[in-house]
Amino acid sequence: MVDLLAAGIALGSIYVLAGLGFVLVHNATGAVNFAHGDLVVLGGMTAAALVSALGVSPILVAVCVPILMFPLGLALETFAFRPLRTKNFSAAFTISIAISVIVSNVLLLTLGPEARTLAPLKEGRLQIGSFGVPWQSVLIVLLTVVMVAFQWWLFQRTVLGFKLRAAAQDPETARLMGIPVNRMTSVTVGVAVTYAGIAGVLLAPVVLLSSGSGSSLILKLYVAVVIGGFGSAIGAVIGGLSLGLLEVFTASYVSSSYVNAIIFALLFAVLLARPQGILGRTEVRV
């Protein structure tokens, strides 16, 4: 039971990091980025390939890969999301699907069709009395806590965070206040893609990743953020942890074949009972 709980919290923590990035992109651009799952896979598979090719420490790669993801996020916002920011929802939806296809095919062409995994960042188990928890799970949870705290500090306690939130919430007023909206939006998307890269590095030792893994992952992330409340960072935390625990316990006590069915049944039940999600707000139209 302890192992299952640790595995569920660890997997849920990865979903939290990826989900926070998903929410950041939506809040900053208004777009639902269906390429986010492939960006997570990109981070994980790149890390696994670098460790395999160079023989370096997984920890070194875990530091370097997210740094490389930030400029990728800047480029995506500048050349993909920004031109469509004022267009309709269909245009933004289409470009995110296009990015997803491009990323998955680049992975297929460069790294091949075989699934890849990454060695744990730390081997062994942490003994707590008579119980033992894998160090990998402990590191995943600790890093997630640090990254969630960093995001809260950045957006709530810094001048840059004020500008980032202002640019996302009311771009026109932010421009009148002298805030460079385009630059702030680019930084937000860069941070979001960096979070995707970190989530990918943490996910690679847990599951096998292939070029086609992004499509199933983005569906799970979408479920997590909808359950928690679309656009809510705290909701992404609640939804991600809930999804990770549900997935692990379902695979262990029912069958891994039914995991996706049960996840979407939960989504259906939540939408029936509370369409705006657990922490979402109800919009009143007049």
Per-residue pLDDT, averaged over 98-108, amounts to 94
- Which 3 state secondary structure label does DSSP give 170? coil
On the question of pLDDT at 42 being above 60, the answer is yes
148-191 residue pLDDT tens: 999 999 999 999 999 999 998 888 999 999 999 999 999 999 99
Residue 284, pLDDT above cutoff 50: no
The sign of the dihedral angle between the CA atoms of 105, 106, 107, 108 is: positive
Per-residue confidence (pLDDT) for residue 46, from 0 to 100: 93
> Is residue 261 situated within a structural domain?
no
Structure tokens that stand for 23 in this block: 């929410």
pLDDT at 56: 84
Residue 46 or 55, more confident:
46
Residue 124 has pLDDT above 90, yes or no: no
Which of 228-237, 261-270, 276-285 shows the lowest per-residue confidence on average (mean pLDDT)? 276-285
pLDDT of residue 1: 73
d(CA 105, CA 201): 20
Q: Is the pLDDT of residue 13 over 90?
A: yes
Which has the higher per-residue pLDDT, 126 or 102?
102
Mean pLDDT rounded to a whole number for the chain: 88
Residue 176 lies in a domain: yes
* pLDDT tens-place string over residues 57-88: 888 888 888 889 999 999 999 888 888 766 66
Whether residue 286 is predicted with pLDDT greater than 70 in this model: the reply is: no
Q: What six digits make up the tokens of 176?
A: 């009148």
Q: What single letter denotes the amino acid at residue 244? A: G
Spatial distance between the Cα atoms of 276 and 282, rounded to a whole number of angstroms:
6
Inside any domain, residue 219: no
Residue holding tokens 């479920």?
223
Per-residue pLDDT, 66: 85
Residue showing tokens 């004022």: 86
Name the DSSP letter for residue 25: H
Judge whether 68 lies within some domain.
Answer: yes
Q: What is the extent of the structural domain holding 55?
A: 2-213
**pLDDT tens digits for range 211-264:** 999 988 998 999 899 888 887 888 889 999 999 999 999 989 888 888 888 888
More confident residue, 3 or 70: 70
Whether pLDDT at 210 is above 60 = yes
Place of tokens 């160090």: 135
Mean pLDDT over 105-122 rounds to: 91
The answer to whether residue 240 is domain-embedded is no
Residue 174: CB partners within 8 Å, gap ≥ 6?
Answer: 163, 166, 167, 181, 184
pLDDT confidence tier of residue 29, bands split at 50, 70 and 90: confident
Instruction: Give the total number of structural domains in the chain.
Output: 1
Question: Higher model confidence: residue 201 or residue 276?
Answer: 201
99 found inside a domain: yes
Is residue 235 domain-resident?
A: no
Which pLDDT belongs to residue 54? Answer: 86
pLDDT at site 103: 95
In a domain, 255, yes or no: no
Residues 6+ apart with CB under 8 A from 215: 37, 38, 100, 104
Percentage of the chain lying above the pLDDT 90 cut: 53
